[in-house]
Amino acid sequence: MYNITVVGTGYVGLVTGACLADFGNNVTCVDSDAAKIERMKALELPFFEPGLPEIVERNFNEGRLHFTSDLATAVRNSKVVFITVGTPPRADGSADTSAIYAVAKIVAQNLNGYKLVIQKSTAPVGTARDLYRHMSKYAKKGAKFDVASNPEFLREGSALETSMRPDRVVIGAESKEAESILRKIHEPLFLIETPMIVTSLETAELIKYASNCFLATKISFINEMANLCEALGADVQMVAKGLGMDRRIGPKFLHAGPGYGGSCFPKDTHALSAFAKKAKVKSGIVDAVIAANDHQMTRMVDKICNSIGAPRGKKVAVLGLSFKPNTDDLREAPALYIIEGLKKRGVKVVAFDPISMRKAEELPQLKNVEFGADAYDAARGAHAVAIITEWNEFRGMELSRLKRVMKKPVLCDLRNLYKRDQVEAAGFEYVGVGKGVPAGLTKKKPAKRASKKA
């Protein structure tokens, strides 16, 4: 067991710190935001993540998890330092790694014995090796340290599960000592036979980007198929099913929808494209994925607007704001982009989200948006309801109740949660994603609407 400092208490840092403490290590979580640290000492966490409050509270009360903003002292008391600070995108799409370098400098100035610095923030390939050079400039002569890379693959909303039972552990380490410490830290995962890859720094860093870009590619691919399905009268859910049965492809990440969002895919695809450009390597696939995702979100705005006729002055209830369920994270959420698009077309938006509304109210983009107390309240007087995030409570809505409060019964189901027949039987017009209607079958309602408008 080690004395470990984890720098940065965002999703990755706090989850990593809590899990390492739960494995029996003595962990100090550091953040430069002193007010945030004080709140965490009072067990108020900065974001919503199922199961995290319990594990933080247990380890804090049992004395294995500490919070401080004094980085230097924490470093001096630790053998291992995880860097998990943010790497936000710059205007050109590249990752801003300045926070990592600032932390590494302080670590270098406080080396009082061998320390292992583990770079866990997602940062461009080459960062870990460059950090070693950077730290050498500030470290006392003869000070011993290593820099390793240990990318995270946690999924928000199921962060504990993905950290405690990961598909694999990736370690970039180039000294015996660094490798052995990282193996020891991950020992509890060997009991559940988690596979581990030990490789060079650059390879470990690229595995992270390649994984996220590949997943984003899968999503953009199925979204493109969905658009084809709509034009050709096919059903994307069946296409995904048939496609996913091929074991080389696999069934996961083939859900068509409004486009991906969140703190990882948008940022990491742009970052890969930026460092590929710098390396003078063409990243045509990833570039196309980025463009396809932007296009998909725009398509969703058109889809909703088409379903309500002339959009100006009409009211749309948006259900779900966070980029996926079980999180209150609004970063790059498709809902924000879609709402902005609707507002530009003169649509009045009323939104509801089970968890992220308080955060949403603070966003400048949502200034003119009203919020409902629940789905039915948001839908009152609406010309369409648009489900953007697949929270469980939107899966089983009482359609008759929804219809009663709406002005026009139109359901834009951007996550394909409902069956067309069921929704149409309840008297709604149904709009899904990639749910084309074969030419032989009559497309009753949309045809009527179109002729009315004409």
Tell me the closest approach of the beta carbon of residue 78 to ligand UDX, in angstroms.
Answer: 25
Tell me the closest approach of the beta carbon of residue 22 to ligand UDX, in angstroms.
Answer: 20
Could you report how far apart the first and last alpha carbons of the chain are, in Å? 73
Tell me the closest approach of the beta carbon of residue 57 to ligand UDX, in angstroms.
Answer: 23
In angstroms, the CA 396 to CA 226 distance is: 24
Question: Could you say which residues in the range 388-417 bind ligand UDX, by CB under 6 A?
Answer: none
What is the DSSP secondary structure assignment for residue 294, as one 8-state letter?
A: H
Name the one range near ligand UDX by CB under 6 A: 48-56, 64-72, 150-158, 435-443.
150-158
Q: Which is nearer to ligand UDX, 40 or 215 (CB)?
A: 215
Question: Could you say which residues in the range 205-244 bind ligand UDX, by CB under 6 A?
Answer: 212, 215, 219
In angstroms, the CA 428 to CA 402 distance is: 10
Tell me the closest approach of the beta carbon of residue 144 to ligand UDX, in angstroms.
Answer: 31
What is the DSSP secondary structure assignment for residue 367, as one 8-state letter?
A: T
CB neighbour list of residue 266: distance below 8 Å, 6 or more residues apart: 89, 260, 290, 293, 332
CA 433 to chain centre: 21
Q: Which of 22, 31, 49, 156 binds ligand UDX (CB under 6 A)?
A: 156
Closest to 410 in 3D by CA, of 325, 341, 315, 334: 315
Tokens found for residue 426: 């309840």
State yes or no: residue 257 binds ligand UDX (CB under 6 A).
yes
Tell me the closest approach of the beta carbon of residue 253 to ligand UDX, in angstroms.
Answer: 4
State yes or no: residue 255 binds ligand UDX (CB under 6 A).
yes
User: Do residues 25 and 3 lie in contact, with contact meaning Cβ atoms separated by under 8 Å?
Assistant: yes
- Between the alpha carbon of residue 412 and those of residues 15, 35, 206, 319, 428, the distances in Å are 35, 42, 38, 10, 10
Q: Which is nearer to ligand UDX, 2 or 253 (CB)?
A: 253
Q: From residue 162 to residue 181, what is the string marking binding to ligand UDX with x (rule CB under 6 A)?
A: --------------------
Which is catalytic among the residues 29, 213, 229, 264? 264
Closest to 257 in 3D by CA, of 220, 207, 209, 212: 220
In angstroms, the CA 264 to CA 415 distance is: 20
- Residue 450 neighbours by CB distance under 10 Å: 12
Q: Closest residue (Cβ) to ligand UDX?
A: 264
User: Do residues 353 and 322 lie in contact, with contact meaning Cβ atoms separated by under 8 Å?
Assistant: yes
State yes or no: residue 264 binds ligand UDX (CB under 6 A).
yes
Q: Which is nearer to ligand UDX, 15 or 406 (CB)?
A: 15
User: Do residues 316 and 308 lie in contact, with contact meaning Cβ atoms separated by under 8 Å?
Assistant: yes
Tell me the closest approach of the beta carbon of residue 391 to ligand UDX, in angstroms.
Answer: 11
Q: Which is nearer to ligand UDX, 67 or 275 (CB)?
A: 275
Does the annotation count 264 as an active-site position?
yes
Question: Could you say which residues in the range 49-78 bind ligand UDX, by CB under 6 A?
Answer: none
- Residue 387 neighbours by CB distance under 10 Å: 25
What is the DSSP secondary structure assignment for residue 454, as one 8-state letter?
A: -
Q: Which of 267, 324, 343, 408 binds ligand UDX (CB under 6 A)?
A: 324
In 3-state terms, the chain is what percent helix, strand and coil (to 5)? 45, 15, 40
User: Do residues 392 and 417 lie in contact, with contact meaning Cβ atoms separated by under 8 Å?
Assistant: no
Tell me the closest approach of the beta carbon of residue 405 to ligand UDX, in angstroms.
Answer: 27
State yes or no: residue 153 binds ligand UDX (CB under 6 A).
yes
Tokens found for residue 408: 């026009």
Q: Which is nearer to ligand UDX, 97 or 212 (CB)?
A: 212
Residues binding ligand UDX: number (CB under 6 A): 19
State yes or no: residue 124 binds ligand UDX (CB under 6 A).
no
Q: Which residue has the tokens 């084809």?
A: 228
Q: Which of 265, 337, 352, 371 binds ligand UDX (CB under 6 A)?
A: 265
Tell me the closest approach of the beta carbon of residue 129 to ligand UDX, in angstroms.
Answer: 22
Residues with catalytic roles: 264
The contact set with ligand UDX (CB under 6 A) reads 152-156, 212, 215, 219, 253-255, 257, 260-262, 264-265, 323-324
